[in-house]
A and B are shown apart, each in its own frame.
Chain A
């Protein structure tokens, strides 16, 4: 499979967009990982023909004819969108998410919808109403989550580019476990309009790709203010694509790392982290040990704030305007309660309960307000860290891909698998996972880089350099 950049160049030079789109559709049909849950052949072929017409008319399209896949929580007008929940079965959005619309305007062609944890609640893709996704690197293992389908679709070579959403690591952790690049931009970089909301102060849409350069190009096309999302920032976003092309360590670069991260890592991940530090130092970077004293509380803070926001966001699913409605309810209240009970899976129910609990009278101060205070302390830790270094290096996940069922019995163990990615969202900073070799079982290991808010371009430059080091 070619990169997105290579496909766009070929189509811009006159190759029909139909060729790569047809190849991607064929690969999606043959998918054995359950990454793809819906294929949009007719729509994609029509879109490819329109790209050909636009190129023939002299337009320059940065993603001309690039086949992409989108996570099932991004609305596309006319295409069923369910967040992999039974409660949204059959939902056909009347509008398209801004991020997807911008990619299509730039010439990208949506060929498929990808599997995910229900409402993005999970780290293994095992909570999907469509069943789990198999990791393309080892089908007995999970792909990570919640954007497990998008990560697997890229890793399996079905599409060069896929969209995910990241509330606490849902792009970076599956990217790491599947061996692809995945980026969560600064909060406010990409419009959330048309993204089925999970944690509104945390959610960001971002790319999964085979290369940092493709991720940078995709992000540049999506980024920028959107009148439909008042939290999308009025900031210039040029230069992201160029940044992703960089292969060299900028002179004088200071890379921070948190020594405490070394404890509790799987041995294969620890070995790759040491290799990354060594190679960065050899390439001229200065490694700076950094203390993040409140990071240890990130999981607790996250599961208060994210579930509080989720419980509020999921209150819209009531069986009235869209989604599943129970048969023959006796009263309106029974209609709500039974429709929701029948439509939501167990993980969604648990998060609604927890979120309702932490927001309820008598507990709000002890949990929600306290979590918002510790969130500020975590943000302060990041600000102090970035006074001493330009970027933070660490593992994207404490382990490589685990086996199906391994963590489903114990929600806390599952939640702890996001321990290195949650704080990024709490602080609103950008983070990217870059493949950096494998463990002894040949399972991919991803390194995470984080930078301060709105240093997305600097982060992509460093990620490109780390990718070059990984290639040796």
Chain B
């Protein structure tokens, strides 16, 4: 399974991760090796096998619909790298 540099650029877009040209080249080679290894799964006969996402056998765990455990505004802003007193600051999103 070839993984091209073009494939890596597409994955970079999907995952919001900016890689440089050298990194993209290295990544395509390393991913190709790992995906090649993972290819062995195709030899397993899984006809009629139901996929499992949750080994704990839980379904639809709910809790009472009551607000609890909320952060204060101050706490919620405390770790933001750029902020003012009331908001997190980001670059302009909409041009006027």
Contacts and interface: CB of A to CB of B under 8 A. Distances in A.
Contacts of A344: 17
B67 interface: no
B36 to A, nearest CB: 9
A219 interface: no
12 contacts: A230-B61, A336-B16, A349-B23, A350-B30, A354-B31, A356-B11, A356-B14, A357-B31, A370-B42, A373-B44, A375-B55, A411-B34
A172 to B, nearest CB: 18
Given A315-B15, A369-B51, A374-B41, A324 B30 contact: no
Contacts of A329: 91
A227 interface: yes
Contacts of A330: 91
A325 B81 contact: yes
Interface residues of B, number: 50
B18 A341 contact: yes
A187 B50 contact: no
Contacts of A402: none
Nearest to B7: A357
A357 B12 contact: no
Interface of B: 3, 7-8, 11-12, 14-19, 23, 27, 30-31, 33-35, 37-38, 40-42, 44, 46, 49-56, 58, 61-63, 69, 71, 75-76, 78-82, 88, 90-91, 93
A425 to B, nearest CB: 9
Contacts of B30: 350, 411
Contacts of A228: 69
B5 to A, nearest CB: 12
Contacts of A303: 34, 37-38
A373 B27 CA distance: 28
B42 A201 contact: no
A334 to B, nearest CB: 7
A200 to B, nearest CB: 10
Contacts of B19: 341, 349
Contacts of A426: 55
A357 B46 contact: no
Contacts of B3: 357
A311 interface: yes
Contacts of B50: 373, 376
Given A370-B41, A373-B46, A352 B17 contact: yes
Nearest to A382: B55
B16 A379 contact: no
A360 to B, nearest CB: 6
A376 B79 contact: no
B38 to A, nearest CB: 5
A374 B44 contact: yes
B82 to A, nearest CB: 6
B interface: dominant SS: loop
Interface in A278-297: 294, 297
A9 interface: no
A86 B90 CA distance: 21
Contacts, number: 169
Contact of A322 (B61, B69, B80): B80
Contact of A321 (B16, B54, B88): B88
A366 B42 contact: yes
A353 B23 contact: no
Contact of B91 (A90, A321, A332, A376): A332
A335 B90 contact: yes
A344 B51 CA distance: 31
A323 interface: yes
Given A321-B88, A353-B31, A91 B79 contact: yes
B16 A337 contact: yes
Given A322-B80, A344-B17, A377 B44 contact: yes
A297 B35 CA distance: 13
A251 interface: no
A470 interface: no
B11 to A, nearest CB: 5
Contact of A92 (B63, B71, B78): B78
A430 interface: no
A263 B31 CA distance: 28
Contacts of B8: 353
Contacts of B42: 366, 370
A451 to B, nearest CB: 15
A213 interface: no
Contact of A412 (B14, B33, B51, B93): B33
B46 A412 contact: no
A370 B44 CA distance: 9
B27 A376 contact: no
Contacts of B75: 94
Contacts of B14: 356, 360
